[in-house]
């Protein structure tokens, strides 16, 4: 079969499996399996695909039909224009989370500043490592309850050349921090904020991601509240906490913090909050 027919056939299979980006997925997976570029895909449309490539492609299409996310099948996801290795041990970085990085760059415009930042629940390390790449002199402390996630995050830090400036601590939320960690100029987090009752309505792909990275098995606000409350004690005077959220919104603002901004996405949905220590 040639490239064009192979892509057509796979696209049809993925469409019937309910994938809404069937064609793009099929193309990405063939590019990954065969290690060819998008340009190759187009200019070589009528080239025969080698038998072994076809077989490997068909195997991966089967997994995609079972709604395994493309990023787990390719083992990689781009975040803030850099490649991150991902496995089912970590949440796949989302474009929404780039809003948090954007917000940081706006609030801390001096990218050579000697800041100390903290990322709670680092997963793939996408936030912590992006901050280390963008802020050339900053140090970042990143925590996660999952050792398996930390191993991925460490390898991403290594790969992107910032491992000397990012320390990874194992433990639950801020309990992973020692008394030496901080005070921070900013604490940033994309915590599990999906409520227990919302879990059954999520798209099939999310069923392949670590459940503990998605939900607090409660009202969705538990980890956010912990980060605001315990985080406020770890901030510099006027330090910031920047968090992502979903449909459950944001918890009540603790008295020691001031809510500076609600972050909205293009569709007008609340996606996060920026808080500042009152520095009392
Ligand atoms: N910080 C990581 C991310 O934003 C992981 C978040 C999580 O697992 N909830 O992708």
The ipTM, to two decimals, is: 0.95
Q: Is 127 in the pocket of ligand 1 (CB under 6 A)?
A: yes
- pLDDT at 279 (0 to 100): 74
Beta bridge partners of 145: none
Tell me how far apart the alpha carbons of residues 57 and 34 are, in angstroms, rounded to a whole number. Answer: 8
Tokens 């000397």 identify what position?
164
- Whether domain 77-277 has CATH 3.40.190.10: the reply is no
Residue intervals of the chain classified under CATH 1.10.8 are 3-66
The residue whose C-alpha atom lies closest to atom 10 belonging to ligand 1 is 93
Average pLDDT over residues 219-227: 98
Provide the 8-state DSSP code for 48: B
Residue 2 marked in a binding site: no
Atom of ligand 1 nearest to the CA of 97: 4
Class of 3-66 per CATH? mainly alpha
Average pLDDT over residues 155-163: 98
The sign one gets for the Cα dihedral 103, 202, 93, 140 is positive
Beta bridge partners of 76: 85
Cα 247 to the center of its chain, rounded Å: 18
Atom of ligand 1 nearest to the CA of 244: 4
Rg (CA), the chain: 21
**Whether residue 134 has pLDDT greater than 70:** yes
Q: Which of 143, 213, 214 to mutate to test the pocket of ligand 1 (most atoms within 8 A of CB)?
A: 213
Q: Cβ distance 209 to 69 under 8 Å?
A: yes
Average pLDDT over residues 90-95: 97
Atom of ligand 1 nearest to the CA of 193: 9
The sign one gets for the Cα dihedral 75, 79, 84, 86 is negative
- Residue 2: pLDDT band with limits 50, 70, 90: very high
Cα 162 to the center of its chain, rounded Å: 18
Residue 109 marked in a binding site: no
- pLDDT at 182 (0 to 100): 84
* pLDDT tens by residue, 15-59: 999 999 999 999 999 999 999 999 999 999 999 999 999 999 999
The residue whose C-alpha atom lies closest to atom 7 belonging to ligand 1 is 213
Residue intervals of the chain classified under CATH 3.40.50.150 are 77-277
- Residue 280: pLDDT band with limits 50, 70, 90: low
Tokens standing for 261? Answer: 């901004």
């Amino acid at each position: 079969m040639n490239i064009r027919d192979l892509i057509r056939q796979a696209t049809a299979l993925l469409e019937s499996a309910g994938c809404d980006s069937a064609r793009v997925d099929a193309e990405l997976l063939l590019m990954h399996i065969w290690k060819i570029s998008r340009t190759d895909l187009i200019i070589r449309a009528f080239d025969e695909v080698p038998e072994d490539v076809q077989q490997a492609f068909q195997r991966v299409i089967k997994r995609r039909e079972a709604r395994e996310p493309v990023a787990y099948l390719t083992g990689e996801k781009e975040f803030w224009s850099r490649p991150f290795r991902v496995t089912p041990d970590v949440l796949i970085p989302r474009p929404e989370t780039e809003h948090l990085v954007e917000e940081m760059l706006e609030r801390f415009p001096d990218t050579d500043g000697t800041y100390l930042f903290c990322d709670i629940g680092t997963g793939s390390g996408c936030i912590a490592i992006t901050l280390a790449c963008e802020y050339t002199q900053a140090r970042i402390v990143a925590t996660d309850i999952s050792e398996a996630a930390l191993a991925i995050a460490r390898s991403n830090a290594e790969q992107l050349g910032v491992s000397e400036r990012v320390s990874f601590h194992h433990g639950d939320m801020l309990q992973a921090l020692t008394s030496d960690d901080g005070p921070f100029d900013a604490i940033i987090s994309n915590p599990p904020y999906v409520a227990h009752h919302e879990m059954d309505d999520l798209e099939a792909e999310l069923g392949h991601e670590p459940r503990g990275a998605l939900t607090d098995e409660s009202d969705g606000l538990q980890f956010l509240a912990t980060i605001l409350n315990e985080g406020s004690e770890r901030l510099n005077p006027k330090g910031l906490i920047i968090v992502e959220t979903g449909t459950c919104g944001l918890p009540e603002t603790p008295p020691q913090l001031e809510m500076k901004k609600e972050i909205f996405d293009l569709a007008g949905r609340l996606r996060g909050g920026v808080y500042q220590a009152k520095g009392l």
